[in-house]
């Protein structure tokens, strides 16, 4: 099920199911995030506990659940966006009131550790969730026009749209050095596929393997990204863990996000990583797509439908249902 689309005047609640706001996230950045969402005609409020941080950079499970459940229970709230990612969203999964989530389907969008929450909500309720910018990315980075435009296409319209490469990018939301996107997409395995889009952060997905909180891989196109906490060797291993999952032989295609510099992943290493997986030799694979921990980033639906076409020197991606 696709949650209702947004319209001008709708209300967004910022919550913190993983880490609370970083001390580095200034008042000015918070206002910038509000302004960027305001350009979409949205108003913003905050959960009670978004600024709380303990020694694990988060707050209690109970307080995080309170903010999540409050957002779903409030009929004025039509979309939730996490403050940031982190490392602890999977602590919530067994305690979420999935009946409450089903009662009033709403948009929820985030990235990184929010993979755990987004995948679980879709797996347990069948309601489409979204992998896209969190609030810190919308406030800390000044390179967000591309991100905002893709949020507009995803959240305000039902029309299909292509995913096109950004002209410039930065290595993270905190980075100010703009890099020209000369490489664009990295085609590896040729082919064409249409299927259900699921995925997110590669390491966080590994935390869900074998649980009830990861969707079936059958007839899917996987969106996968890895940030700087792992290197290119870890990408090899965490990808293999997914390929060891039941129904991994039914995956129809793979779309990989741009790697941060500290992963050490290059175009050549990416090509070798994919070509080393015999499980992937008959399905289309493309890399260096604008999602993950670099900015700007697109938004893709977890549970939507995507069409992927990869040729020798180019690739096209179209979001069909979102």
* Residue 12, token pair as written in the block: 């967004």
The Cβ-side half-sphere exposure at 141, using a 13 Å CA radius, reads 27
Residues 221 and 254 sit within 8 Å (Cβ to Cβ): yes
In degrees and rounded to multiples of 5, residue 160 shows phi and psi of -60, 155
d(CA 124, CA 102): 9
The total of other beta-carbon atoms located within 10 Å of residue 180's CB is 8
Angle, alpha carbons 158-37-138 (nearest 5°): 105
Angstrom distances, CA of residue 92 to CA of 66, 95, 203, 204: 11, 5, 17, 14
Look-up of token digits 């991606």: 317
Structure tokens at 147: 């991100």
Q: Could you tell me where the beta strands, DSSP code E, fall in 174-230?
A: 179-180, 186-189, 191-201, 220-225
309 close to 252: Cβ distance less than 8 angstroms: no
Q: CA-to-CA distance for 297 and 181, rounded, in angstroms?
A: 13
Count of alpha carbons within 13 angstroms of residue 114, beta-carbon side: 29
Strand residue runs (E) in 75-146: 77-82, 107-110, 129-131
Q: What are the distances in angstroms from CA 142 to CA 161, 172, 185, 226, 289?
A: 24, 11, 23, 22, 20
**Cα gap 279→93, rounded to integer Å:** 30
What is the set of active-site residues? 112, 225, 293
Neighbours of 75 (CB within 10 A): 9
């Amino acid at each position: 099920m696709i949650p209702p689309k947004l319209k001008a005047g709708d209300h967004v609640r910022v919550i913190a199911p993983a880490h609370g706001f970083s001390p580095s996230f200034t008042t000015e950045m918070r206002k910038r995030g509000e302004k960027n969402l305001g350009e979409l005609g949205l108003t913003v409020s905050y959960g009670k506990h978004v600024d709380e941080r303990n020694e694990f950079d988060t707050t209690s499970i109970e307080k995080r659940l309170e903010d999540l459940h409050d957002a779903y229970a409030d009929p004025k709230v039509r979309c939730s966006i996490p403050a940031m990612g982190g490392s602890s969203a999977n602590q919530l999964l067994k305690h979420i009131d999935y009946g409450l989530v089903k009662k009033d389907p709403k948009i929820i969008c985030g990235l990184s550790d929010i993979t755990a929450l987004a995948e679980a909500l879709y797996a347990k309720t069948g309601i489409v969730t979204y992998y896209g910018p969190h609030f810190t990315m919308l406030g800390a980075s000044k390179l967000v026009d591309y991100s905002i435009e893709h949020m507009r296409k995803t959240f305000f319209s039902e029309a299909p749209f292509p995913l096109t490469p950004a002209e410039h990018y930065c290595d993270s939301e905190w980075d100010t050095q703009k890099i020209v996107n000369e490489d664009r997409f990295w085609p590896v395995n040729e082919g064409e596929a249409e299927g259900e889009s699921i995925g997110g952060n590669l390491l966080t997905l590994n935390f869900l393997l074998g649980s009830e909180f990861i969707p079936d891989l059958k007839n899917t196109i996987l969106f996968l990204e890895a940030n700087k906490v792992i290197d290119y060797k870890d990408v090899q291993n965490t990808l293999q863990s997914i390929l060891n999952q039941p129904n991994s032989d039914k995956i129809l295609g793979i779309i990989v996000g741009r790697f941060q510099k500290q992963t050490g992943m290059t175009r050549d290493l990416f090509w070798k990583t994919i070509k080393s997986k015999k499980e992937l030799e008959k399905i289309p694979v493309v890399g260096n797509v604008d999602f993950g921990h670099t900015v700007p980033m697109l938004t893709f639906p977890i549970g939507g439908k995507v069409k992927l076409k990869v040729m020798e020197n180019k690739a096209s991606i179209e979001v069909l249902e979102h």
